[in-house]
Amino acid sequence: MKENRQEIVFNEFKNKSHILNDLQTYVKTMLELRNLKGNPPELEMLMLTEEVGELAKAIRKDYSSLKIDNAKASNYGKASSEIIDVLIVLLGLCNSLDINLEQAFLEKESENIKREWGK
């Protein structure tokens, strides 16, 4: 069977060196050093939801035509900073659930490339 373009791109990607495992390990270590390790998954999920909300506010402030309360605008961070907070908390959630995010990504994407995507 001939590989489709999605399979080719995926196979090239998965055969490269990846930093996601290292990043997940780094976050685990830093959370331990900051005494932030050991939250149960449900608390990690609450924190993730909070961080996604902060990201939404930053996007609304900087990239949207929606109006914001100018008195609160300084409370909203930059999207680039907030998205990193989301990533850090997501990696912490993965650690609390013993999920290797890189492996889970590769497994899920190997399913996705077999799907037909359309309107």
Amino acid at 119: K
SS3 38: coil
Residues contacting residue 89 through CB under 8 Å, at least 6 positions apart: 44, 47, 48, 51
Task: Give the domains, in start order, of the chain with CATH numbers.
Answer: 5-112 (1.10.287.1080)
pTM over 0.75: yes
Per-residue confidence of the chain (119 residues) as pLDDT tens digits?
556 888 888 888 888 877 899 999 999 999 999 998 888 999 999 999 999 999 999 999 989 888 888 888 888 889 999 999 999 999 999 999 999 999 999 999 999 988 887 77
**Nearest one of 36, 79, 85 to 57, comparing CA atoms:** 79
Q: In the prediction, which pLDDT does 49 show?
A: 98
Q: In the prediction, which pLDDT does 3 show?
A: 65
Structure tokens at 105: 């990504």
SS3 20: helix
